[in-house]
Copies of this chain bind each other. A is one copy, B any other.
Amino acid sequence: MATLTSREEDYSKWYNELVIKADMAENSGVRGCMVIKPYGYAIWEKMQRQLDQMFKDTGHENAYFPLFIPKSYLSKESDHVEGFAKECAVVTHYRLKNSPDGNGVQVDPNAKLEEELIVRPTSETIIWNTYKNWIKSHRDLPILINQWANVVRWEMRTRLFLRTAEFLWQEGHTAHVSREEAIDEAEKMLKVYTEFVENFMAIPVIQGVKSPAERFAGAEETYCIEAMMQDGKALQAGTSHFLGQNFAKAFDVKYQSKEGKQEYVWATSWGVSTRLIGALIMSHSDNNGLVLPPNIAPIQVVIVPIHRNEEQLKAISELAVILTSQLKKMGISVKFDDRIEYKPGWKFNEYELKGIPVRVTIGPKDLENKQVEIARRDKLEKHQHSIDRLAEHIQNLLLDIQQNIFNKAKLHRDSLITEVNSYEEFKKILDEKGGFISAHWDGSVEVEEKIKAETKATIRCIPLDAKEENGICIYSGNPSKRRVLFARAY
């Protein structure tokens, strides 16, 4: 097995190689679209199952809306079309025909659509066009719906998981009687995302709101969670938008209030995507491969036998089968790799590369001593454990690993938050250290744009817990009431 490029040598190359070598995903023959391979998809399935349960526990139902959005729908909300029109896949025809030269097929010019269809980059417009017919009275509200779907944004520079033309996501779209209720919903879903990303993916995040320039196209407020990668670049891990009445007005969606008045409906939307898998990889993994938090690992424990003959393998298998069954009863996923065509050393490398949290090795000596060897992936550390109460031990170990991976990421993230009070310092930290830079900003779009143009750093968020303090903007010198977080970002 060829080794990975190290993170220190080339972080970007390390990431790409890791995604490919760990069998997570690969580029397809279609520009910007990836193939998510079974191992990568198994992680997505675990994410989906967990998130879906959390959405249902907070009162949401799933539904499915069309892949295509008529061009005229997209145009109805002006900020929205501005935000998405420049990078979208447009369906113009509905038929191919044989080429006159007999060589392949071509678009049939007689099958041109009257109105072009956009492959959804997000579904607000098609959904609000639908909600219009569902909402008559305050009794029809709230509508709390989520959709699991693929979306397409014609990105020019793509990277596996992080930025792809097509990606998978979920998008929640809710409708409410009041501003307050909609804001509560947007904030509630931000909390759900925070809990999911921190407790399941073990990625610490900062909750905040976006600056106006970084808001979702069509939102009044965009809440976000921001994560910090190992290389000091930030990554937006999820967003929840308070859409005000923008889409209700664009699609004329009103309800009759208890008082009998016609009112526009209030909206939210919120989403996370397969991008999070990129964040997962970049948050925890090392030069030997993936490091997966147990809560999201498709295989949590692998058992590798070491044996010289059939008889030994048989004895080891007996123990492995008992352990597997005990672990499965605890809801722990286990793989017993008794393939004889691969050597133990090859397997060790393979499972290290794949980030399996716990490896149990059983050799003939271990059997004699009624013990096994346990290696944890997060610390590359081994120890022996008696076969007594082994399953319980592994169960506790998995909890410890989950916590340790989170703590390590948090320690690293915290070390990458720097307060600065001048633009010189800002630029110096940005270039030498990276990370989040906490600085005063005067709230103007102009300053935000200038800093971005000069340094490639953007305002990642205004943290929800930002303290009020009197400061001056590092760029303009104008007064500022609170610090915001800048960073270069994925």
* Chain A contact residues, CB within 8 Å of chain B: 26, 28-30, 33-38, 41-42, 44-45, 61-75, 81, 85-98, 104-107, 116-119, 126, 129-130, 133, 139, 145, 149-150, 152, 154, 166, 168, 341
A/B interface sample: 6 pairs, CB < 8 A: A35-B65, A35-B66, A38-B61, A68-B166, A81-B96, A107-B116
B29 touches A130 (CB 8 A): yes
Tell me the bound Cα distance from A150 to B147 in angstroms. Answer: 13
Given A35-B63, A71-B104, 12 further pairs, Cβ under 8 A: A30-B70, A75-B104, A81-B96, A81-B104, A81-B105, A86-B97, A90-B91, A90-B96, A91-B92, A92-B93, A107-B116, A119-B119
A92 B90 Cβ-Cβ under 8 A: yes
Contact residues in B for A74 (Cβ distance below 8 Å)? 96, 105
Distance in angstroms from A42 CB to nearest chain B CB is 7
| Interchain CB contact under 8 A, A152 and B67 | yes
Cβ contacts under 8 Å, A91 to chain B: 89-92, 119
Judge whether A90 and B97 touch: CB under 8 Å: no
With a cutoff of 8 Å between Cβ atoms, the chain B residues found around residue A64 in the complex are 35-36, 41, 44, 168
Cβ of A28 and Cβ of B130 under 8 Å apart? yes
Q: How far is the CB of A113 from chain B (nearest CB, A)?
A: 9
A30 — which chain B residues lie within 8 A by C-beta?
A: 66, 68-70, 117, 126
Asked if A94 and B88 make an inter-chain contact with CB atoms under 8 angstroms apart, the answer reads yes
10 pairs of A and B residues whose beta carbons are closest in the complex: A33-B66, A38-B61, A85-B96, A36-B64, A75-B104, A90-B93, A94-B154, A30-B66, A92-B92, A89-B91
Q: Is the Cβ of A130 less than 8 Å from the Cβ of B35?
A: yes
Cα–Cα distance between A380 and B360 once the two chains are bound (Å): 57
* Chain B residues with CB below 8 A from A341, complex form: 139
B86 in contact with A96 (CB, 8 Å) = yes
The complex places the Cα of A107 from the Cα of B145 at a distance, in Å, of 31
Give every chain B residue within 8 A of A145 (Cβ-Cβ): 38
Contact of A61 among B41, B61, B62, B166 (CB under 8 A): B41
Asked whether B87 lies within 8 Å of A94 as measured between CB atoms, the reply is yes
CB-based contact A29/B71 at 8 Å: no
Q: Assess whether B62 is in contact with A42, with CB atoms less than 8 Å apart.
A: yes
Q: Which residue of B lies closest to A75 (CB)?
A: B104
Question: Least Cβ distance of A164 to chain B in Å?
Answer: 9
B107 contacts A92, CB within 8 Å?
A: yes
Q: Tell me the complex Cα distance, A28–B67, Å.
A: 11
The reply to whether B88 and A28 contact each other, CB–CB distance below 8 Å, is no
**Given contacts A88-B95, A90-B94, A105-B71, is CB(A129)–CB(B42) below 8 Å?**
no
Closest chain B residue, CB of each to CB of A132:
B29
Q: Which residues of B contact A87 (CB under 8 A)?
A: 94-95
Beta-carbon contact of B166 and A29 below 8 Å: no
A97's nearest neighbour on chain B, judged by CB, is B85
In the complex, what residues of B have CB within 8 A of residue A130's CB? 26, 28-29, 35
CA of A88 to CA of B107 in the docked complex: distance in angstroms?
Answer: 10
Give chain B residues whose Cβ lies under 8 Å from the Cβ of A117: 30, 89
CB < 8 Å neighbour of A73 from B29, B69, B93: B29
Residues of B within 8 A of A88 (CB): 94-96
Could you say which residues of chain B place their CB within 8 Å of the CB of A70? 29-30
A11 to chain B, nearest CB (A): 26
Residues of B within 8 A of A69 (CB): 30
Known: A28-B65, A74-B105. A95 touches B35 (CB 8 A): no
Residues of chain B contacted by A28 (CB below 8 angstroms): 65-66, 126, 129-130
Q: List chain B residues, Cβ under 8 A from A149.
A: 150
Q: Is there contact, CB below 8 Å, between B93 and A126? A: no
When distances are taken between beta carbons in the complex, the residues of chain B under 8 Å from A45 are 62
In the complex, the chain B residue whose C-beta lies closest to that of A52 is B45
Inter-subunit contact A107/B90 (CB<8 Å): yes
B68 and A41 contacting across the interface, CB-CB below 8 Å? no
- CB A276 to nearest CB in B, in angstroms, measures 15
Nearest Cβ in chain B — how far from A45, in angstroms?
Answer: 6
Q: A94 vs B118: C-alpha distance in the bound complex, in angstroms?
A: 9
